[in-house]
Structure 1
Amino acid sequence: MRGLQGGEWRPGEAIPSELELAARFRVSQGTVRKAIDELAAENLLVRRQGKGTFVATHNEEKIQYRFLRLQPEDGMPPLRMQRQFLDCRRLRAPSDVARALDLRAGDTVVQIRRTLSQSGVAVVLDDIWLPGSLFKGLTAERLSEYRGPLYSLFESEFGVRMIRAEEKIRAVVADEATAVVLSVQAGAPLLSVERLSMTYGDKPVELRRGLYNTHGHHYRNELS
């Protein structure tokens, strides 16, 4: 874990073999294998048959959308949703955002507003807050140009990898402004999902507040 957190092995790179790691840390190969298994279960490492073990990246197909739990009723995968960025600006963090991201009052944040649509209909309205010090140079133009998953951009260009997230979910009704964006009636039921994403060391690096129109979708989670 220290090697991952310290950037010794970067996303997409192979880590040393189990034998090499065992010798380096003076532990048994079984101990190394158990640690690798645990990190793979947490989507921090990826085993590739015949090739070795690699640091996971948000470009990995099986994990690039693992935080998006909205599933269409017709079975179409969520990765086919189209995104549109409505705004991207730098400003002083509102007090509640600063608390969530463990920032000081007055620190700069980047606020992104976007929609996710399916078949031309907006399904999600997201407000995303990022620490300004970690995302210098992030602009609306760069967001619009990038074609991959948003977390892949954060990882590849800003060195910020989302490791895990916590969510709070509640039912709300659409106000007039949100109703226009999501093409619903004012007062229509929506799902409010607030996600706090963390990087290594449980450092909060993203606050995301999404409003979901679940008329043709459902929120799906797996519990274990």
Structure 2
Amino acid sequence: MAVPPSAPPEQPSFPEAGTPAFSPLYQQIKGLILQSLQAGEWKPGEAIPSEMDLAARYRVSQGTVRKAIDELAAENLVVRRQGKGTFVATHAEQHVQYRFLKLVPDAGDRDAEGPAQRNVVECKRVRAGAEVARALALRTGDPVVQVRRVLSFDGEPTILEDLWLPGVAFKGLSAEQMAGYHGPTYAMFEIEFGVRMVRAEEKIRAVAADAQQAALLGVAEHTPLLSVERIAYTYNDTPMELRRGLYRTETHHYRNELS
């Protein structure tokens, strides 16, 4: 009996130019690489396959793969290392640790100041109200983890933060875990929960401290503070954190680089 030939491995099909779903080939390859990143095929800090291997995998030219990776690198999703390859970016890396924290000391630099001392005031599971649910693309009443903490520099309370995280993705997160991890919080989210924040949006305004906020920050009531509201996203623009921070600015300032 003749044995039927085995079918060739299935390869991704790309829409033709002129069709509604058409996008440049390198953008399609970028999307496939993003799918693998989201699925955890390559973990933060790990090397991804070489351009040659990815070109063979997707049956495209190395130039097409290189252009896709160039965009991923520009978006801080991967990091090229000369002579070593391309690696999944991680918040554990020194140059990424402060990517989303723009508060810097007036004197000296952030590295000389050292990491913030963290006092976790509370960490609890609650039901999402309408505003939090909307920000995190959840339903009202879905479980979320709510964290309040104070960040101090040189013993001086400087930032009061309230965080809301989806309860399913961050099941088991505790105050002890938040306080005990000495690296960047986003690195802990990567390592412990497999959630990597890849971009964020912020709203900034000036506010006056209420009595409770003033007490936690060690300032007088009605002291002017900088309010920074952030929504951080993982792959595919999925919101994974709502963070509201109140910043004292007597010795620090908010610094952003525009290009």
CA contact 2:42–2:48 (8 Å) conserved in 1 = yes
Alignment match of 1:36 (pick from 52, 69, 73): 69
Q: Which secondary structure does the structure 2 equivalent of 1:80 belong to?
A: coil
Match of 1:149 in 2: 184
Letter in 2 for 1:161: R
Q: Which secondary structure does the structure 2 equivalent of 1:84 belong to?
A: strand
What's the CA shift for 1:79?
Answer: 4.8
Of structures 1 and 2, the one with the larger relative CO (CA 8 A, separation 6+) is: 1
Match of 1:71 in 2: 104
Structure 1 residues 13 and 50: alpha-carbon distance in aligned structure 2, compared to 1, 3 A threshold: same
What's the CA shift for 1:80?
Answer: 2.5
Match of 2:231 in 1: 196
Q: How many Å separate the matches in 2 of 1:166 and 1:75?
A: 27
What's the CA shift for 1:33?
Answer: 1.1
Q: Which secondary structure does the structure 2 equivalent of 1:98 belong to?
A: helix
State how many pairs are aligned: 224
CA displacement, residues 157-176 of structure 1 (integer Å, 9 cap, x when unaligned): 11110010000000101111
Letter in 2 for 1:190: L
What TM-score, normalized to structure 2? 0.84
Match of 1:84 in 2: 119
Q: Percent identity between the aligned chains? A: 65
1:21 aligns with 2:65: no
CA displacement, residues 166-209 of structure 1 (integer Å, 9 cap, x when unaligned): 00000101111111111111111100000000000000000000
Match of 1:136 in 2: 171
Q: Which runs of 5+ in 2 are unaligned?
A: 1-33
Q: Which runs of 5+ in 1 are unaligned?
A: none
Residue pairs, 1:1-224, within 5 angstroms? 1-77=34-110, 79-224=114-259
Q: Which deviates more from structure 2 when the two are superposed, residues 72-81 or residues 213-222?
A: 72-81
Q: Which secondary structure does the structure 1 equivalent of 2:192 belong to?
A: helix
CA displacement, residues 13-35 of structure 1 (integer Å, 9 cap, x when unaligned): 11111111111112211111111
CA contact 1:162–1:197 (8 Å) conserved in 2 = yes
CA displacement, residues 6-56 of structure 1 (integer Å, 9 cap, x when unaligned): 211111111111111111112211111111111111111011122111111
What's the CA shift for 1:81?
Answer: 2.0
What TM-score, normalized to structure 1? 0.97
Larger radius of gyration: 2
- Greater strand proportion: 1
Q: Which secondary structure does the structure 1 equivalent of 2:97 belong to?
A: coil
Q: How many Å separate the matches in 2 of 1:204 and 1:79?
A: 29
Q: How many Å separate the matches in 2 of 1:49 and 1:213?
A: 40
CA contact 1:22–1:32 (8 Å) conserved in 2 = yes
Q: How many Å separate the matches in 2 of 1:147 and 1:185?
A: 30
Letter in 2 for 1:69: K
Q: How many Å separate the matches in 2 of 1:150 and 1:79?
A: 15
CA contact 2:118–2:179 (8 Å) conserved in 1 = no
